[in-house]
Amino acid sequence: MKSLLHYIIFNLFPVILGCCILCSTAYALDNDTIKEDILTAIEKKYSGKSFEADFTQISKLSALDIKESASGKASFSHPGKMRWEYMEPEHHKIITNGKLLWIFRPQENQVMQGDASQFFKAGGGGAFLSDISLIRKNYIIHIKEVNVDYVEIDLSAKEKNADISSIAIRISQKNNNIVRVVTYNPYNDTTLFEFKNIQFKEIDPALFEFKPFKGLNIIDLD
């Protein structure tokens, strides 16, 4: 959002002068025009695009007080195509072509496969990164923070979802890249993703397919 701070400071300056600091800040961050500006910027950056990035992931299970870390490379292509290749702590892949899902665990010589829509409902599982229109379609948007480095928005699901109750997205002011995503479920579990080395590029469609090979143990998730 190259001009977002400029917009807040100059376009809303008369409003800010007329209110106390706390009230004016709340007004600015809740302004529909600014929300639209943010959405338009990330839609312009991501709509119909393919990209890849290195990622780190931290998952916290609140009830069990468990924290797990992982890292790897992720690839996305519109519409709905994703490939999460985990390198640490163990190598496995989560692949979808937008219709089918495969979870391949080479150490176990196993692939789990099923209907992708059941696992990426309402943009969950990072699905909105491969179809940015899901943000506007499925979430109510609140602006959480604006500073010189990034804008952070909270997305509240329009419809009740057993898997995801809200998502926090951090967007770089420098280039409008989505650099951080945190998902929250109704049980207070969180999954944090941070993305680095983001590269927008053409990606071979074959990367989002998986062909089981002879001798592989196949488990249907349906």
Beta carbons of 98 and 83 less than 8 angstroms apart: no
Q: Which of 117, 39, 115, 93 is nearest to 207 (CA)?
A: 93
Q: Which of 222, 221, 113, 134 is nearest to 178 (CA)?
A: 134
Q: What is the pTM of this model?
A: 0.81
Q: Which of 158, 193, 155 is nearest to 177 (CA)?
A: 193
Residue ranges of the chain with per-residue pLDDT less than 70: 1-30, 121-125, 162
Q: Which domains does the chain have, with CATH numbers?
A: 4-89+127-201 (2.50.20.10)
Q: State how beta strands 92-96 and 190-200 pair.
A: unpaired
CA 210/CA 84 separation, integer angstroms = 13
pLDDT of the residue at 51: 96
pLDDT of the residue at 6: 43
pLDDT of the residue at 18: 37
